[in-house]
Structure 1
Amino acid sequence: MTSETDGADVTALLVTAHPDDECMFFAPTVIRLVELKARVHVLCLSEGNYYNQGARRKQELLDSCAVLGIPASRVTITDHKNLPDDPKAEWSVSLVSSVIAKHIRALSVNMVLTFDGRGVSGHANHTAIYKAVRLLFALLGDCWPPEEIHLLLGASPQLAAALLSLLHCWLRGLQASQSRHALSSLSTPVVSLPVHQLIALHVH
């Protein structure tokens, strides 16, 4: 297979907490998936209104995703009153799990990309997503639809090469003999891209 067609059968869901997470933590992996012709969706669980700039930050997210190669039609931003952009807020793990499960089913997702157990940056909203995804996979077990669903968890940059190698294995179908829900706490691969330009699209 060529690198241009490896990801044609992949429908990936990137789950983030706030606008700017997509470029600060996941841009390399997203760009690589898009290069491989994977269909990438983004689910952002808050509009980023901590400083009362939610409307502006939502537009910035759409602009950032466009640069990453993700059209607005594949970007969902939730605005749930119980999921505020707040590092002190305790997001309900069950609520987050239900929101993610709804999107996985609706989009026939077979790859989920999100934060690791430390939330990458340690933000409470990030770690809540990690806990929710792990809970979701644990509860569903073998009751999930027939597609294999792989979970990529963002971690330290030192493991970038390992994740890229594993990603290529998955895209070539070399994981067929392993469990349905493959879990990996490896980092996003490093590729050449203007991440600083993406971050500049967001308010700080």
Structure 2
Amino acid sequence: MSDWVKWLLLGLLSIAFGVFVLGAPVVASVAVTVVTGVLLLIAGGLQVVGGFTVEGTGNKILSLIMGVVMLFLGWSFLDHPLQGTLTLATVVLILFMAGGIARIILSFQMKGTQFFWPTLISGILSILLAGIIWSYAASESAALLSLLGILLGIEMLFNGFGLVFMAFFVKNAPNDETKQA
């Protein structure tokens, strides 16, 4: 099987999963929360074990505290996945808002360059998106439960289309033998 066909199949699979995830965003959001919980448990356990090997009392205490916090969060996400999903969705909203503010500030440092307007608009759109999601979530709590799944589904669609386009690019690109001739 040629490389371009592999990329094409991977892209189509990503698109199919993206459509599936968008069809059940709450289920996908809870799945993201469960995976995050498992990863936090693993990271917390490793952090606690690593805490016993670091030098210095302050470093040891900080490492152990961080490990225990990660263990607690992981356990909490697994024990209460719907509440964990709301927590993660809220964190995503905060990151959208913070990222938008940071890009707006950065854009003014780029004033007079070709990057000013795209960076400014990007920041404004992130803040508007966070505001829209927040206002919608205030009236309907299921919106936050769906947020992670919707974002995951959209990302899978974008990734899938990107892989499909790359597959056709690889198919139509001249190979090394043609370049050498």
Normalising by the residue count of structure 1, what TM-score does the alignment of the two structures yield? Answer: 0.22
Larger fraction in helix: 2
Larger radius of gyration: 2
| More relative contact order, 1 or 2 (CA 8 Å, 6+ apart) | 2
